[in-house]
Structure 1
Amino acid sequence: MPRETTPPRILSAFAGRIVTAGEVAAGHDLSGRTAIVTGGAGGIGLEIARTLAVAGATVTLAVRSRDAGAAAAAEINRAVGRAAASAAFLDLADLATVRGFTRIWGGRPLDLLIANAGVMATPESRTAQGHESQFGINHLGHFQLATGLVPALAAAGSARVVMMSSAGHHDADVDLDDPDWRRRTYDPFLAYGASKTANNLFAVGFSRHFADDGITANAVHPGAVATALGRHVRPEQIADRGWDFSTIAMQTPEQGAATAIWASTAPELAGIGGLYLEECGEAPPWSAERPLWGVKPYSRDPDRAEALWALSERLVAG
């Protein structure tokens, strides 16, 4: 019998290099394409939206702050010299607004959904529906959004969903018996890690459920980026965990957006979903030699993905 081999990883010409989103998008014409970027008013989301607009796409910034969204859309439109961007209200912490957003969008074809918005290491809090905030915002809100937009994504013909994940998934699997931290002592960093694992598993599950509709989903680790995402992280928390960030090269938002743009445009990813991407390529398995990179196997397990999918359907329905 022939020996089983591991399929080669999918890598781009930019793999392993620090590049900007603009460099990755160069040569791609997205004219006529539509995109939604959650959290598109600042940080990585703004750079993703700007880059897509420069490449020709029409972009909707799905944001919680109407004023910030309007200002960001105006900034993008000035930069590209056309009405490429607009803002729409979306609060991922309230599933009612998510349903309202998808209802208003309707069946208009949607080529790209960039699930970028999120929170990190927040003090213990709950969404409008009573879910732990990191699980509720980072996962359930986007779960409701993406599944609600399936008719629009299917109408585009070959749509892509990009889930913004993190190396934080290394810290925790999802506890399917207690996803909302009701029976455990809350830990903000483990809750964040679990929500990022949920993002990875969502990409696996979504691609399996909707591949026949021509829709794929991949998860993206942007790298360490200087944005407001870490505003809840205090120096003493970092010290308590023994983390040494002095060895980490922080990237700009333009650099942090690069892998999401590659996931959105790369021809080599056509029809391929369920991957965890970093440094403009498919991530290798996690190893102790490079602990801040790679993907933990539990976050791509298809059985775990299906179990989380079933749980998520029940939670958003309730």
Structure 2
Amino acid sequence: MSNRITSSFGTFSTAREVVAGRDLTGRTALVTGAATGIGIETARALAEAGADVVIAARKPDLAAAAAADINRTARGPGARFEMLDLSSLASIRALAARWGETPLDLLINNAGVMACPLSRTEDGLEMQIGTNHFGHFLLGVLLAPALEAGARASGSFSRLVSLSSIGHRRSGINWDDPNYLTRPYEKWEGYGQAKTANSLFAVGFHKRFANRGVTANAVMPGGIMTPLQRHMAREEMVAMGWIDAETGAIRQGFKTPEQGASTSIWAAVGPELEGVGGLYLENCAQAEPWTAEAPYVGVMPYALDPEDADRLWDLSREITGAW
């Protein structure tokens, strides 16, 4: 791949290593799902660099505990909590209304649901694409004026980071029935569709807002054991080769949560990405095309297809009632 964007960091770099030397004083970041997993490590790294960090989550007690933990080492304002349930369009609109056009420099759409049984959001959407994509779509569009204000205030680009996954290879978008209203539900297909949507959202958002000072990129964090696996039985993870049946040891190649947060942080602060967007990033570099020889890295072409990104944007506007 010619002109591929890379960094000095790699697969097992940590979020702290990526943000080291960056001064984010005066910058505000909102991280969804930052009460656990790689989200809390993303928020921690930003807070330790001096940013004012907002943990947007649906469990106040868990978020309060996360903020208290982060604030033990934060430099500057530290972390605070905002209520957000991404499975409720009303909750998303309420957060956006509270926020208004207060300048926002970083929006990291980190929260996610994986491989859950068939269930539906408050608005009748299939839970995985409803939460992972449609919820984040509405949040991003409603907070776009705040991101634009952040860019004007700082004189540099604000950034939206959309967390995708190698799981996107399991499915593109089913345009006829994205919410499984008529077709049989398969949880991994549903997850793949949602993660493809996360990548296409970054493509679509960047196209529409880069000329207003806001860039967007998709991120694949890697394999990490976090509460994201809450819907998976131990036997399933053994069968998939994620953990050893006898010892319970995690497969070699999995990352720690702090390592898993590194590409999100690079997408948020990396100088190589200033003004650059519409990309799929992994291991602190622009991803190369997916191949069967290396199935756990790389990006499928449909996840970056500009026509599919436009089609998804129109569908998402229709479903969420957003701009």
Bin of the TM-score, shorter chain as denominator length? over 0.9
Over 3 Å counting, the alpha-carbon distance change for 1:110 and 1:317 in structure 2 is same
Structure 1 runs (4+) greater than 6 angstroms displaced: none
Cα shift readout 1:203-231 (whole Å, capped 9, x = no counterpart): 00000011111111111111000101011
Aligned residues: 310
SS in 1 for 2:72: helix
Shift of 1:235: 4.5
What is the aligned-residue RMSD (CA, Å)? 1.4
Q: How is 1:246-257 mapped onto 2 (pairs within 5 angstroms)?
A: 248-257=252-261
- TM-score between the two structures when normalised by the length of structure 1: 0.94
Gaps of 5+ in 1: 1-5
- Quote the residue 1:14 is aligned against: 9
- Quote the residue 1:122 is aligned against: 116
Opposite residue 184 of structure 1, the aligned amino acid is: R
SS in 1 for 2:95: helix
Given that 2:51 and 2:76 are in contact with CA atoms closer than 8 Å, whether structure 1 keeps it comes out as no
Find the aligned partners of 2:132 and 2:161 in 1 and give their Cα distance.
13
Shift of 1:83: 3.6
Shift of 1:236: 4.8
Find the aligned partners of 2:41 and 2:234 in 1 and give their Cα distance.
27
Q: Does structure 1 residue 148 correspond to structure 2 residue 142?
A: yes
- Quote the residue 2:195 is aligned against: 196
Given that 2:50 and 2:77 are in contact with CA atoms closer than 8 Å, whether structure 1 keeps it comes out as no
Find the aligned partners of 1:123 and 1:237 in 2 and give their Cα distance.
14
Opposite residue 114 of structure 1, the aligned amino acid is: I
Opposite residue 263 of structure 2, the aligned amino acid is: T
Cα shift readout 1:83-103 (whole Å, capped 9, x = no counterpart): 411001000000000000001
SS in 1 for 2:73: helix
Q: How is 1:80-91 mapped onto 2 (pairs within 5 angstroms)?
A: 80=74, 82-91=76-85
Find the aligned partners of 2:74 and 2:84 in 1 and give their Cα distance.
24
Opposite residue 317 of structure 2, the aligned amino acid is: E
Cα shift readout 1:47-89 (whole Å, capped 9, x = no counterpart): 0000000001000000100111111111111222654110010
Q: How is 1:80-119 mapped onto 2 (pairs within 5 angstroms)?
A: 80=74, 82-119=76-113
- TM-score between the two structures when normalised by the length of structure 2: 0.93
- Quote the residue 1:297 is aligned against: 301
Cα shift readout 1:89-131 (whole Å, capped 9, x = no counterpart): 0000000000000010000110000000010000000000000
- Quote the residue 2:248 is aligned against: none
Q: Does structure 1 residue 137 correspond to structure 2 residue 121?
A: no
